[in-house]
């Protein structure tokens, strides 16, 4: 359900400065690449890791947190509910409903959904609905047919592939590229969710072209679901030993780097536009409240 990462330690804790990005870390959580990518995309913010205890205590997510990233994992068994529980889930929902941004990648996207079907061919028991964030009330179903790769290899990239994605740029242009995929969900909309999702990308080579990446307004906030992983790019591994088998994977995804970057930039622009709109609304509200106050004598 997720992808491992090379060792990466944050330079700064996500709680230390005013504007921050919180990337979740925990047992078998692949936080390394999201951490690097969010630092590249938000270089004016403090980007660091937070734990389940940080979330439950309330110190991880507040009005100064620009985004909370729940990444993929390196096994088939999500640690999120055991680490977050109902208390952590409530803190995340409260943060988003009050204007925050949630980003769920792979296992994080599954966890954000109410109805889950995870049925890879190597598991005896199908995983279905479990306690989660319930931001999306349709079905999160994965892995994709013919793209499922078993986790647990000592080499993280052995359970990953890449797949064709049709996406819409921030300028509204429709394009196609290939994106890294690691057993993430396709989002299947039902009557409850009809018209509520902003679809960013679809799986091009899957019957029905199901949703791969989408956003949804949650109260004043925003949830982003990443069934494919545009934050994984060949540029992160340029210094890999040429004899390392990882290079086969890098060579496979390198031709699609421009499209990957454009798609990721589209996701980041959605986050930036959300916060700009929120700041504008708050400014108008404060101005109106100020005009309504009686003048001091």
Q: Is residue 11 in some structural domain?
A: no
Report percent pLDDT > 90 for the chain. Answer: 64
Distance CA 200, CA 110 (A): 17
For residue 11, name the pLDDT band (cuts at 50, 70, 90).
Answer: very low
pLDDT at residue 25 is higher than 60: yes
For residue 17, name the pLDDT band (cuts at 50, 70, 90).
Answer: very low
Q: 35-42, long-range: CB within 8 Å, 24+ apart, which pairs?
A: 35/8, 35/10, 36/8, 36/236, 37/231, 37/236, 37/264, 38/67, 38/69, 41/264, 41/268, 42/66, 42/67, 42/268
Range of the domain at 165: 20-291
Q: How many domains does the chain have?
A: 1
Q: Is residue 192 in some structural domain?
A: yes
Q: Tokens representing 85?
A: 């529980």
Q: Is residue 176 in some structural domain?
A: yes
Overall average pLDDT of the 266-272 stretch: 96
Work out the mean pLDDT of the chain and round it to a whole number: 87
**Secondary element (H or E) of residue 113:** strand 113-118
Q: How many CB atoms lie within 10 A of CB 182?
A: 31
Overall average pLDDT of the 70-89 stretch: 93
Give the CATH number, domain containing residue 81.
Answer: 3.40.50.880
Overall average pLDDT of the 119-144 stretch: 86
pLDDT tens across 200-229, in order? 999 999 999 999 999 999 999 999 999 999
Q: Is residue 46 in some structural domain?
A: yes
- Which residues, 6+ apart, have CB-to-CB distance to 269 below 8 Å? 170
- Is omega for the bond preceding 143 within 30 degrees of 0, making it cis? yes
Distance CA 186, CA 225 (A): 10
Strand extents, DSSP E, 197-240: 197-203, 211-218, 221-226
pLDDT at residue 86 is higher than 70: yes
Q: Is residue 5 in some structural domain?
A: no
Q: Is residue 6 in some structural domain?
A: no
Check: pTM over 0.85? Answer yes or no.
Answer: yes
The length of the chain in residues reads 297
For residue 75, name the pLDDT band (cuts at 50, 70, 90).
Answer: confident
Q: Residue 263, SS3?
A: helix
Report percent pLDDT > 70 for the chain. Answer: 86
Please give the pLDDT value at position 275. 95
Q: Is residue 206 in some structural domain?
A: yes
For residue 285, name the pLDDT band (cuts at 50, 70, 90).
Answer: low
- Which residues, 6+ apart, have CB-to-CB distance to 50 below 8 Å? 14, 15, 22, 23, 24, 25, 60, 68
């Amino acid at each position: 359900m997720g992808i491992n990462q090379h060792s990466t330690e944050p330079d700064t804790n996500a709680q230390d400065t005013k504007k921050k990005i919180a990337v979740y870390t925990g047992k078998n959580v692949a936080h390394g690449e999201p951490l690097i990518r969010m630092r590249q995309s938000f270089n004016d913010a403090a980007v660091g890791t937070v734990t389940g205890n940080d979330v439950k205590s309330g110190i991880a997510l507040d009005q100064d947190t620009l985004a909370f990233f729940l990444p993929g994992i390196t096994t088939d068994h999500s640690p999120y509910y055991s680490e977050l529980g109902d208390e952590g889930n409530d803190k995340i929902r409260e943060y988003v409903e009050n204007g925050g941004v949630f980003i769920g990648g792979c296992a994080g996207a599954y966890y954000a959904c109410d109805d889950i079907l995870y049925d890879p061919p190597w598991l005896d028991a199908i995983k279905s609905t479990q306690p989660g964030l319930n931001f999306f009330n349709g079905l999160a179903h994965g892995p994709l047919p013919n793209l499922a790769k078993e986790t647990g290899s000592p080499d993280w990239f052995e359970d990953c592939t890449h797949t064709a994605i049709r996406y819409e740029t921030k300028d509204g242009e429709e394009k196609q590229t290939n994106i890294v995929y690691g057993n993430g969900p396709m989002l299947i909309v039902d009557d409850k969710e009809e018209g509520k999702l902003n679809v960013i990308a679809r799986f091009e080579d899957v019957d029905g072209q199901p949703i791969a990446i989408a956003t949804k307004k949650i109260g004043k906030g925003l949830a982003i679901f990443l069934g494919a992983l545009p934050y994984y790019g060949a540029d992160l591994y340029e210094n890999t030993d040429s004899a390392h088998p990882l290079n086969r994977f890098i060579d496979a995804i390198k031709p699609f780097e421009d499209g990957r970057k454009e798609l990721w930039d589209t996701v980041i622009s959605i986050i930036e536009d959300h916060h700009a709109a929120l700041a504008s609304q708050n400014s108008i509200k404060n101005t109106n409240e100020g005009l309504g106050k009686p003048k001091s004598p």
